[in-house]
Amino acid sequence: MNKIKFLGTAGARFVVTKQLRKSGGIWITVDNTNVLIDPGPGSLVNCLSSRPKLNPKDLDGIILTHRHIDHSNDINIIIEAMTNGGFKKKGVVFATIDSLDGDSVILNYVRDQIENIEILKEKGTYNIGKISFTTPVKHIHGVETYGIIIRGKDCSISIITDTKYFEGLESYYQSDIIILNVVLTEGNEHIMHLSLKDAEKIIAANKPKLSILTHFGMKMIRIKPWKIADHLSNKLGVKVIAARDGLEIDINHYKI
């Protein structure tokens, strides 16, 4: 089954450190290719406690959109789990250069366990298993960061990871399904994350078959994001949902 599994929906440091929501990233299966995106704190535990269980040995690769700890904390243990403790060299890791150089979040010894590491760059195109993905534009965030568009045989999924809104952002992410990291209820010039207003603008411009809000900050959780999603659905005339920990989406319902 082509699916999206939310191992966690936490965004912002307090939601993550208090584990008010889990923070394990997103597991995507498209065309028999398994990819884990942003394995934050608890990713391995959340894979193994998932129902049905997700086995990291089934992964074809890992995409790390940026080095911040809520996105990268479990990447080394996930690499070890993917490679059966390093005894089976396999998989590809896609990461930004600042995740690998200097104060690297990917340990040197686990790099020998994987088949390849590819560097994410603006307007890059990458292949993994039977799917491809692009990094259409560099985001505005505290570190080098890219959103991605995954393309399978008959579906496309955009993941707009952490960024401050900038003019034209919505034009880069046209797909069947859009996943948006919405930390803020209201915009803040000094916080480089999307707000609800930004998310609404992106959804209204693209009108995807499904929009999913996730990566919530404290205020977003307090105002009940599922109610906000229902409001946006009614206002925009498109399907909008708020992710919850463990939510699984059947992509086949939203194919081209």
> Domains in the chain: how many in total?
1
Report the alpha-carbon distance of residue 213 to residue 229 in Å, rounded.
Answer: 7
Pairwise CA distance, residues 73 & 70, whole Å: 6
**What number is the average pLDDT over the span 48-60?**
96
Looking at residue 25, which CATH number applies to its domain?
3.60.15.10
Report CA 172 to chain centroid distance, whole Å: 16
Percent of the chain residues past pLDDT 70, beyond the cut: 99
Would you say residue 256 has pLDDT above 60?
no
> Sorting pLDDT into bands at 50, 70 and 90, what band is 57?
very high
Task: Yes or no: say if 170 and 91 are a contact pair by the CB < 8 Å rule.
Answer: no
Q: What is the mean pLDDT of residues 119-136?
A: 98
pTM of the model: 0.96
Q: How confident is the model at residue 135 (pLDDT cuts 50, 70, 90)?
A: very high
**Band (4; pLDDT cuts 50, 70, 90):** very high
Residue 169 CA: distances (Å) to CA of 9, 178, 190: 22, 13, 18
Q: Following DSSP, what letter does each residue of the chain receive, concatenated?
A: --EEEES--B-SHHHHHTTSS----EEEEETTEEEEE---TTHHHHHHHSSS---GGG-SEEEE----HHHHTTHHHHHHHHTTTTTS---EEEE-GGGTSSS-SS-HHHHTTSSEEEE--TTEEEEETTEEEEE-SB--SSS--B-EEEE-SS-EEEEE-S----TTGGGG--SSEEEEEEEESS--TTS-SEEHHHHHHHHHHH--SEEEEESB-HHHHHT-HHHHHHHHHHHHTS-EEE--TT-EEEGGGG--
pLDDT in tens, 95-125: 999 999 989 999 999 999 999 999 999 999 9
- pLDDT over 60 (residue 39): yes
What is the average pLDDT score of the chain? 96
DSSP 36-87: EE---TTHHHHHHHSSS---GGG-SEEEE----HHHHTTHHHHHHHHTTTTT
Question: Which residues form the domain of 97?
Answer: 3-254
CA gap 221, 225 in Å, rounded: 6
pLDDT one-digit tens code per residue, 177-232: 999 999 999 988 889 999 999 999 999 999 999 999 999 999 999 999 999 999 99
- Cα–Cα distance for residue pair 82/103, rounded to 1 Å: 23
Q: What is the mean pLDDT of residues 142-171?
A: 97
